[in-house]
Amino acid sequence: MPSRTNPFRNALCAILIFVALSLSARPKDPKDKEPAPRFSATTTTGEKFNNTSIKGKVVLLDFWTTWCQYCVQEASIVDKLNHEFGDKGLIVLAINVGESKKTVKKYLDEHPRTSKIVLMEDTNLAAMYQANVYPIYVVIDREGNVAGTQRGAGGEEALRNLLADGGLESPEASDNQKE
């Protein structure tokens, strides 16, 4: 006996999908920000960071791997933004996920970075942000709240927008708004 579709079930599924998409697409109200999970991280140079030490700063977490071509392409953008906003309170933590210290060191010898490098063994951040697709970017604002997340590469403009969500706007953005 052939099965027939239930029109009520189909309509209900369509409504649920519509509601789910509507909720996920709505812009976040700044009051809706959630506090960043409690974390600790130590850079390859021995600097230590945690929720208390980043208060008053904007933090860009960059989850990356050496084999991710998009991570390699966007590393120079992340480092450029690190340089541009470093004196405006930005801390960039570039967290390598799942690779050995030897692999990362060899990669960095060939592709130097100016951002602070953190290995997965020196932090609990990768698990907290479910870093399983790369790159992943998370911005934590000056109050310690997650201001935005981006899964996947998006280029310089997308990263600037993400930083703006955290309270750092580039001079070009503010010039454009004045016009």
Residue 50 φ then ψ, to 5°: -155, 180
The SS3 call for residue 54 is coil
Measured distance CA(179)–CA(160) in Å, rounded:
19
Task: Please say whether the dihedral angle defined by the alpha carbons of residues 142, 113, 85 and 151, taken in this order, is positive or negative.
Answer: negative
The SS3 call for residue 104 is helix
Q: Tokens 């870093």 correspond to what residue?
A: 131
**Beta-strand (E) ranges in the chain?**
34-35, 40-43, 48-50, 58-64, 90-96, 116-123, 136-140, 145-151
pLDDT band at residue 167 under the 50/70/90 scheme: very high
- pTM of the complete model: 0.78
Average pLDDT over residues 139-148: 96
Instruction: Report all structural domains of the chain as residue ranges with CATH numbers, in order of start.
Output: 37-178 (3.40.30.10)
pLDDT band at residue 33 under the 50/70/90 scheme: confident
Q: Which amino acid is at 39?
A: F
> How is 23-56 classified by DSSP, letter by letter?
HHHSPPPGGGPEEPPP-EEEETTS-EEETTTTTT
26 has pLDDT over 60: no
- Measured CA distances, 77 to 8, 62, 113, 161 (Å): 50, 11, 11, 13
pLDDT confidence of residue 124: 85
pLDDT band at residue 171 under the 50/70/90 scheme: low
13 has pLDDT over 50: no
Kindly report, residue by residue over 76-85, the tens digit of the pLDDT. Answer: 999 999 999 9
